[in-house]
Each structure stands twice: as C-alpha cells, then as structure tokens.
Amino acid sequence: SQTIHQWPATLVQPVGSPLSLECTVEGTSNPNLYWYRQAAGRGLQLLFYSVGIGQISSEVPQNLSASRPQDRQFILSSKKLLLSDSGFYLCAWTAGISEKLFFGSGTQLSVL
Amino acid sequence: SQQGEEDPQALSIQEGENATMNCSYKTSINNLQWYRQNSGRGLVHLILIRSNEREKHSGRLRVTLDTSKKSSSLLITASRAADTASYFCATVAQGGSEKLVFGKGTKLTVNP
C-alpha cells in the first residue's frame, strides 16, 4: 500500500534561518507531488506541484522553493525565513491528473 | 486565486442532526472533491464527484453537484461528535490540470 511521510511534525525557526522540509512517498511510482500551506483557521494555498523529477511548477512567488531530486521525494526550502512563512505545511500526492490527493500529516512551522 | 468557496464558514449542530455544507466555484471543472481535516492533521479524502454526475453517496455522506449553478453540497446525515472537523471542497479545472484548488472550508462542530 502507498504511504506518505512528512517531517518534522513541528518546527520553530528564527527569522533569517534556512528551511528544509522533506516529503517521501512509498508504494507508488511517478506520483504527482504537491506542497500546500495553511494559515491558522484558513484554507489551503497551493505553493508548488511537480509531475516528474526536476519538474516544478510554482503557484505563488515568494520566499520558498521546491525541488524533486528523486521520483518519490519532494523538498520545500527557504534560504532565509520570514515571519510570514509561519503556517501549517502539507505535502500530498496523487496517482494522476484529476485524481484524489493523499496528504501527509503536516509540519507546523513557527518563525519567531 | 481560490476556486471553491464553502458556506457557511462555521456550523454548530447537535448529535443526530444533519449537516449541510455548500461549495461554489468559478470555472468549468473536471471533478469536485470533498475533504475532511481534523484539527492539526492532514486532510482526508471523502468523496469525488465528476462533472457528469449529479449525486453521489458514501455511507452517511451525500454529495450533489449542479454544474449549471457551479455549486456542490455535502450532506452528513445523523451526525456524530466524531464528525467534528473542517470540511473542504476542492476542484480540478477542466482541461487536464494537475492542480487541485481548495476553498477555505467549513468548520463543523457536532455537540454531544
């Protein structure tokens, strides 16, 4: 069966520090991968998605970047965090176009 | 920009009552999906309804889709305290898009 791993679960980082969040999927190949961010009590904002290794589509220009170095690995990064980067970050995958998403358990990021 | 908008933003009912949440969207869609999120957790897929379907059932869930009005509703019958969560609709735009865009959600509280 397929599983998605996302870590860490909680992260507290100072302003200006770097960020690396990792997400891996097991039990499937060539998934579409997604990074979403959720502000407290709000909906989900699509940040990045990827349909293949090295293929990244950015939805919102901002302080973050994403990479897909391997088929089932998706990384969210920042060189210098801002206060506004705080939020709940969710990784998700889908088997194909228009199919349902499977979400990771999320990372609560607090930038202080 | 967000495609789906849920209504109401918050809903509080008693156990045993039915809960109805609505979703409106702006552009033509391939399918519409409903997700559930418990506080601080990832989202879980509930049901997917395609643009050529009008109604779909899954256990105590009933979803309707009216493409002429660009709206959908999620009905939870005989609600339980365990149904307390936020519910989101998400749409996939027509044309084979890889993007699943979420609304802001309805926060449902079921009181015992």
| Cβ under 8 Å to B: A residues 10-29 | none
B106 CB within 8 Å of a chain A CB: no
C-alpha distances (whole Å) from B8 to each of A108, B21, B107 are 26, 7, 8
Measure the CA–CA gap between A77 and B75, rounded to whole angstroms.
39
Do the Cβ atoms of B100 and A90 come within 8 Å? Answer: no
Do the Cβ atoms of A46 and B96 come within 8 Å? Answer: no
A34 CB within 8 Å of a chain B CB: yes
B41 CB within 8 Å of a chain A CB: yes
Secondary structure (3-state) at A54: coil
Q: Is the peptide bond before B8 cis (omega within 30 degrees of 0)?
A: yes
Tens digit of each residue's pLDDT (9 = 90 or more) over A50-100: 999 999 998 876 789 999 999 999 999 999 999 999 999 999 999 877 788
| Neighbour tally for B52: CB within 10 Å | 8
Do the Cβ atoms of B88 and A44 come within 8 Å? Answer: yes
112 residues of chain B, pLDDT tens digit each? 446 688 899 999 999 999 999 999 988 888 899 999 999 899 999 999 999 999 999 999 999 999 999 999 999 999 999 999 999 999 887 765 678 888 889 999 999 9
